[in-house]
Structure 1
Amino acid sequence: MRVIFMGTPDFSVPILQGIVAAGHEVCVVYCQPPRPAGRGKKDRPSPVQKAAEALGLTVRHPVNFKDAADRDEFAALQADVAVVVAYGLILPQALLDAPAKGCLNIHASLLPRWRGAAPIHRAILAGDAQTGVCVMQMEAGLDTGPVLLTQTTDISDGDTTGGLHDRLSLLGRDAILSVLDKDVSMPAVAQPEDGVTYAAKIDKAEAAVDWALPATEVDRQIRGLSPFPGAWSVMEGQRVKLLMSRVVDGADSGSAGTVLNADLRVACGTGAVDLLRLQRAGKGAMEPLDFLRGFPIPKGAVFGGETET
């Protein structure tokens, strides 16, 4: 098929690569413009732009589609379909109508659950047992369109948002290839009205760990915010990112936030968690033994409080 691809972050890259490898004609790739990044604040192209250029594809990155010339240029491509994966712009109706078979969106949740910006984070934070990807026919509403194909995966106690992100990206690639191979001919099923939830963008204020919560909720927060923005707590005036944990069944609990042993078991409101991966400012992420060599934390120390000013 003749495909317009629209995406920006890492999640979209395996999907673009899969479409090209399957032999479909990607006529143009749209992504967000390069943004200032790094210490020098130089413009840095998005992961999709880098991948597209490596594949020899034409890249466009309009700031928006308010200019009629940009909309006309899109329509003039005469594509069979547009595949949209975390592009970062709301598409006007003129673009949704331009490809012969419309615009298809790959969304990383089991719609109608977790419509919106942060479905992977929210699924882990909520303790969902399953998630997946949906290939959806796009319409004007926020992730409201009818679904052509769904693929599911279990969420394990060892999943972080980072790991689940990568798994869902590959599921999304396989799902869209199935749809394209059938020329988008399968029936689109309307989403049910029951079960709608919204995955609000993650606010950095959500990342401070509240040790008074039950261990299951603390563990979900740590895994659900890993690697970004990273749950954190304060030890000896320094902010420490907590990137991996596990709930300790039947653990004796002390006061919330108290380190219970030399292996970084920490008491919660009920139960405890073992901290399995940590990171200090300016350092790489480490497992507990390596972390403790450079930053000893004795039994009885307490996480919480304020960072040094």
Structure 2
Amino acid sequence: MFVVRGAGTYGLCRHVIVSRWPASRLYSTKTYDPLRILFCGSDEFSIASLKALHAYHLKQPNRIASIDVVCRPGKRVGRGLKKIRQVPIKETAEALSLPIHEIDTFTGWTPPVTPNGPINLIIAVSFGLFVPPRILNSASYGGLNMHPSLLPDFRGPAPLHHTLLAGEKLTGVTLQTLHHKSFDHGTVLSQTPPPGFEIPNPDFCTVPELLNLVAPKGAQSLVDGIKDGLFVPPIQDAGWRANEATDNLRHASKIKPEDLHIDWANWTMLEINRRNRILGPVWSKALVTSNPSDGPLTFQQKRVILTETEEVEPPKGCDSLALVPGLPFANAPHPVEPKKGRALHVFTRDGKVLRINKMKVEGEPVADGLRAAIKARMFGDRSFQSEGVEFTAFRNPLV
């Protein structure tokens, strides 16, 4: 540190302490043995941390002696399950010439012993498997985890998705210890200073864009934590978010197909557009009829994926129709074939109009929204006329 002398009030001498480091790093670095790291990861967020650790290992081999990588085995995908899709981090580990261990469970598995000795620090970043106490206890420095949220808010496997779904404008990263019993309940060792960093264009931001923002910040925070030995006992809790509004903590649960199932009775246009942007094409269910030429008329509920939609102004006259949210309608009387200017629309809960440009009915290819609805025989015999324009309301609302 530097000491600066100057004239203070009433001519008294004053001392101003100026640090070389930011306020968040005013503590002294702890000493520790060269680290033999077992790094558990999977995706792009964990890849950024692995690359940063490897670069620090090359620069300071006296701090990080070795890095072994644990990842899940590849999964069979595609027609006939003939292709194997590898976990993304495996390719990175191979490129960095790091030892790789593919496991789908820690049961019966023991960490490797490196040429320099046994593993002494476990690091799990976006891994998915719970690291059991047996593994953590075998490492003299325990375990670390880098999480892309301001813990304890958005604990869980999908923090980026839920941060955007909640409409947050600020976020951050958290370095914590690995807890012996629960995910994301470790001691916070460092955290993005309050109030967090800004999410650029939060109303339009996608998960990949947010990932590109938080991944390097998380990687740097992890390396800084290694440099400063934050994992060396006695550990200090550096969390601040836990002291703020803990009654409103949100869980970042795994994203499921049902999270894209439109709740027409409760979702506004904003919510539908947000989920479509963050999670992918939303879907609903519709009642379709059998082909009369095939015999007696039957009804079947099928999933319809709204692959291309947009918010539009209500077609002239349709705003006077007493249509419930989720009930599709078209500006065409009893349509048999779609014609230019005709389109499939649906009201949302807040009275706005969603135009379905492309739609995939279960068992059919993606097609123009109105054409797909006609082919699936979703239309009925309810006809309305308003302001000289005739409309067809479809037989049943989407559910």
Task: Say yes or no: TM over 0.5.
Answer: yes
Q: How far 1:36 sits from its partner (Å)?
A: 1.2
Q: What does 1:12-31 correspond to in 2, within 5 Å?
A: 12-23=46-57, 25=64, 26-31=66-71
Q: Given the superposition, is the C-alpha separation of residues 28 and 273 from structure 1 closer, same or farther in structure 2, using an over 3 Å criterion? A: farther
- Equivalent pair of 2:156/2:251 in contact (CA under 8 Å): yes
Corresponding residue of 2:204: 158
The equivalences for 1:115-134 within 5 A come to: 115-134=155-174
CA RMSD after TM alignment: 4.0
The answer on whether the counterparts of 2:37 and 2:121 sit within 8 Å (CA) in structure 1 is yes
Instruction: Using the TM superposition, name which of 190-199 and 172-181 deviates more.
Output: 190-199
Counterparts of residues 96-175 of structure 1 (less than 5 Å): 96-140=136-180, 141-151=182-192, 152-155=196-199, 156-175=202-221
Partner Cα distance (1:103, 1:301) in 2: 62
Q: Is the 8 A contact 1:82 1:103 kept in 2?
A: yes
Residue of structure 2 in register with 1:187 after alignment:
236
Change (3 A) 1:207 1:88: same
Q: Is the 8 A contact 1:109 1:132 kept in 2?
A: yes
Q: Does 2:132 align with 1:92?
A: yes
Residue 98 of structure 1: how far off its partner (Å): 3.2
Instruction: Give 1:216's aligned amino acid.
Output: L
Q: Which moved more, 1:186-195 or 1:199-208?
A: 186-195
Whether contact under 8 Å (2:189, 2:237) holds in the other structure is yes
Preserved contact between residue 345 and residue 356 of structure 2 (Cα < 8 Å): no
How many residue pairs get matched?
Answer: 289
> TM-score of the superposition, structure 2-length normalised?
0.59
Q: What TM-score do the two structures reach when normalised by structure 1? A: 0.74
Q: Partner letter of residue 368 of structure 2?
A: F
Question: Counterparts in 2 of 1:226-305, with a 5 A limit?
Answer: 226=280, 230-233=281-284, 239-242=304-307, 254=319, 256=325, 267-270=347-350, 272=352, 295=368
Give yes or no for contact 1:126–1:220 (8 Å, CA) kept in 2: no
Does structure 1 conserve the Cα–Cα contact (< 8 Å) formed by 2:176 and 2:186?
yes
Gaps of 5+ in 2: 1-34, 59-63, 289-301, 332-340, 372-388
In the alignment, is the contact (CA less than 8 A) between 1:121 and 1:225 conserved in 2? yes
Query: Is residue 273 of structure 2 the alignment partner of residue 219 of structure 1?
Result: yes
Structure with the larger RCO, 1 or 2 (CA within 8 Å, 6+ apart): 1
- Range with bigger deviation, 113-122 or 19-28: 19-28
Matched, 1:177 2:177: no
Query: 2 CA distance for matches of 1:13 and 1:130?
Result: 23
Residue 37 of structure 1 and its aligned partner are, at CA, apart by 1.8
Aligned to 1:6: 40
Contact 1:124 1:223 in 2 (8 A): no
Instruction: State percent identity of aligned pairs.
Output: 26
Alignment check: 8 A CA contact 2:49 2:216 kept: yes
Contact 1:137 1:188 in 2 (8 A): no
Q: For residue 276 of structure 1, report the CA deviation from its aligned partner.
A: 12
8 Å CA contact 2:144–2:176 kept in 1: the answer is: yes
Q: Secondary structure at the match of 1:105?
A: strand
Quick one: distance in 1 between partners of 2:103 and 2:45? 20
